[in-house]
Amino acid sequence: MSFDDLYRQNILDHYQNPRNFGTLEHPDISAEDSNPLCGDEIRIDLKVKDGVIEDVRFSGKGCSISRAAASMLTEEIRGKTLDEVKRIGRDDVLEMLGIELGPVRLKCALLALKTLKVGVYGVRGWPGDDEEDR
């Protein structure tokens, strides 16, 4: 079995059995966004104490790539400080997924990161919103 096959199995597992799926009651941070190209929608809720993410949930609908990326990202950020989360970038998410993606699927893969950054920075958008590397 090749590495690509292993990564594809991991993506499928996260899609079918997403980690941290659901919502939090009274989250400290909550953000929602969507990808109109394919209809993906995501919401990320965070509980933060002393600048550290204590709990995280995501909800919404989407393709296997967007849902798997959200699941993997929520696992990655639990226990990290907000400053550490702000440093997570495009390449980190792509490394978690482990497969090459075309331009359309790239937007799917980065939707969770974009949504997370909107929540962590407390903004709805920023200059260069079309740029892929946040």
> Domain extents for the chain?
3-121
Record the pTM.
Answer: 0.86
- Per-residue burial over 14-53, b if 16 or more Cβ lie within 10 Å, else e, is bbeebbbeeebeebebbbebbbeeeebbbbbbbbbeeeeb
Distance separating alpha carbons of residues 35 and 45, to the nearest angstrom: 18
Looking at residue 53, its pLDDT comes to 97
Strand partners of residue 85: none
Looking at residue 3, its pLDDT comes to 57
pLDDT digits (tens, 9 = 90+) for 59-106: 999 999 999 999 999 999 999 999 999 999 999 999 999 888 888 889
* CATH architecture of the domain formed by 3-121: Alpha-Beta Complex (3.90)
Closest to 65 measured CA to CA, from 119, 101, 20: 101
